[in-house]
Amino acid sequence: MKLKKYICAAAAMTVFSCTAYAQQVDIYVNGNIISERGYLENDTTYVPIRAVTESMGAQVSWDGQSVHILKDEDTLVSSLIADASDSVVAIVGNYSSGSSTADKYNEMTAHGTGVVIKSNGTILTNAHVVSDITNITVVFNDGTSCGATIQCIDEDSDLATIKINKLGLKPINFGSPDDIVAGRTVIAIGTPLSLNMRNSATKGIISGKDVPVSGCMYPLIQTDAAINGGNSGGPLIDLNGNLIGINSSKYAGIGIEGVAFSIPLETINYVLDQFEKNGKVLRPEIKVSFEESWEAKIGLPTQKGLTVKNSHSAVLADGDIVTAVNGIPVHSITDYNKAIRDSFNGTLSITFTRGGAEMTADADYEMK
């Protein structure tokens, strides 16, 4: 099939011999460059079928007359796990002196997972993986290890970056927030329970998106891919091998199965951008407390806003009902935090009702 413009990946393509006058072009499949090159001739791009399809985890054969391409899920998943594992690391360290976690479990060491996001040695993980440990060590899939230091940390979003003194690492490919769709297959990679299980993989689906979870500032991805102790900080990838979430927590208990959570790309991108600009996450804080409606507290859909309590704001008073932030409707505290994450650009425009009258004003705030 002749391609009228250059593309990064396709399911089936025809091989043509390169002429001396053709312009050679690089070929990227799911963001990764492959070893062979295509060529451009007369506004048509030709690509090597075997190199492209095999880089996508497919099997290619030729019977003398026809090209046969086989891409089953088992082949695809195993290829994705092998490829992503070069970017996934185990993180191990010693609990800090006097740590309540160490006292609770009578353990001196802790471990979790991280994922390489920059070739210069920057690794993304959960804040709770590294916030309470010292002597942090990163262990790669091949067994090599390096000492690491905490670079940036944000406990509110439960994200952190650590840094090792090593160049030329393979960063994970980032997906798009639009790729987070309920029902799509995902793979979780991490270090559950023991370092002997380094880079273990589990498969499941996205069970839900934008799921509010008690104690979490922003909504999460819900998945039934198995996540256990030590998986925290590892990647949740899609069937393109792209990062769509960081595995962080799960519900556990009698009668509870397959309810795990990952931090989605929207939050990851926001936090990493803040780390890059400020070395930490700066958020606008209004000097008030909010109370959710009873419907919001139990997870029922509601159009009710947030009731202002204990106000020390020059704009908002106790009893005001906040219904929107920067034009985005808010019905829960998670909605409020998400609206600020997605819209704050120096102004905090608050829509609220007071005595039955609706009004909008720029609220006073502090960056914290």
- Catalytic amino acids? 128, 158, 232
Helices marked H in the chain = 49-55, 73-85, 100-105, 127-130, 265-278, 294-298, 333-343
| Torsion angle, alpha carbons of 83, 140, 203, 224, to 10 | -140
Element containing residue 190 per DSSP (H, E): strand 185-190
* 15 contact partners, CB below 8 Å, separation of at least 6: 46, 48, 49, 50
* Positive or negative: CA dihedral 198, 84, 168, 93: negative
* Positive or negative: CA dihedral 273, 278, 284, 285: positive
* 276 contact partners, CB below 8 Å, separation of at least 6: none
Instruction: Assess contact for 318 and 290: CB atoms under 8 A.
Output: no
Taking every pair of Cα atoms in the chain, the longest distance, rounded to a whole number of angstroms, is: 81
**CA angle in degrees (0–180, nearest 5) for 71-72-77:** 100
Instruction: Assess contact for 46 and 10: CB atoms under 8 A.
Output: no
* 272 contact partners, CB below 8 Å, separation of at least 6: 117, 124, 159, 161
CA distances from 126 to 137, 221, 248, 262, 364 (A): 15, 15, 7, 10, 31
Instruction: Assess contact for 89 and 139: CB atoms under 8 A.
Output: yes
